Amino acid sequence: MILICHTSHEGHTAHLAQRAADAGKAVGFEPQIVDLRKQSPTLDTTQGVLVLASIHMGKHDQKLTSWVQDNKAKLQSLPSALVSVSLSADSGEPKREQEAEDYLRNFLDQTGWQPDHSLSVRGGIHLKNMKLIPRLFFKRLMRDQGLAADEQGDADFTDYSEFDRFLVGFLEDVRKRNG
């Protein structure tokens, strides 16, 4: 069994977690998806852990930070990976891309966790899942930056080739280390 944990506010990271679970299933693992904003799983029976977490106001979710701190020793002993999801990653603007790297680095420094694999990936905008103030803010930001959403107010900026390559590397590592 591999554990795929996520923290997602508007649903994009949850969607990436589902994609990771499908990739794991396709190569014979039994992935279990856990929403860390609702549950704090133990790591007793897992062969590997993938954590996917979105950035809001410059930070990962506090629930994720606490869970990683509480489970650090076990996490460190397993094949593990972290995917940090933000709009700054892969944005094509060096200053913002550096911010995305800093979100990830600061989180690892704060928790002391050293995952075997880590990636900053660009997420998406899902206007209908936002509260009113962020929705108005992001509507305006999209208009100002010339970003397009579909009729449902969704825009997906993730580079899926890069994300899938990352998943393959992590899953191969889990396979190798579990014989």
Ligand X SMILES: Cc1cc2nc3c(=O)[nH]c(=O)nc-3n(C[C@H](O)[C@H](O)[C@H](O)COP(=O)(O)O)c2cc1C
88 is a site residue for ligand X (CB under 6 A) = yes
Residues in contact with ligand X, total (CB under 6 A)?
21
Q: Does 75 bind ligand X (CB under 6 A)?
A: no
Are 124 and 148 a contacting pair, CB within 8 Å? no
Q: Is 85 in the site for ligand X (CB under 6 A)?
A: yes
Binding of residue 112 to ligand X (CB under 6 A) = no
Q: Give the residue among 113, 121, 104 at the shortest CA–CA distance from 43.
A: 113
| Residue 124 in the binding site for ligand X (CB under 6 A) | yes
Task: Answer yes or no whether residue 56 interacts with ligand X by CB under 6 A.
Answer: yes
Contact residue for ligand X among 49, 64, 125, 155 (CB under 6 A): 125
E-strand stretches of 28-116: 31-35, 48-54, 80-86
Q: At what angle do helices 12-26 and 160-177 cross, to 10 degrees?
A: 50
Rg (CA), the chain: 16
Strands 117-122 and 48-54, sheet pairing? unpaired
Closer residue to ligand X (CB): 2 or 121: 121
The Cα–Cα gap between 37 and 24 comes to 22
120 binds ligand X (CB under 6 A): no
- Pick from 37, 72, 134, 173 the residue near ligand X by CB under 6 A: 134
Q: Which residues bind ligand X (CB under 6 A)?
A: 8-13, 54-58, 85-88, 123-126, 130, 134
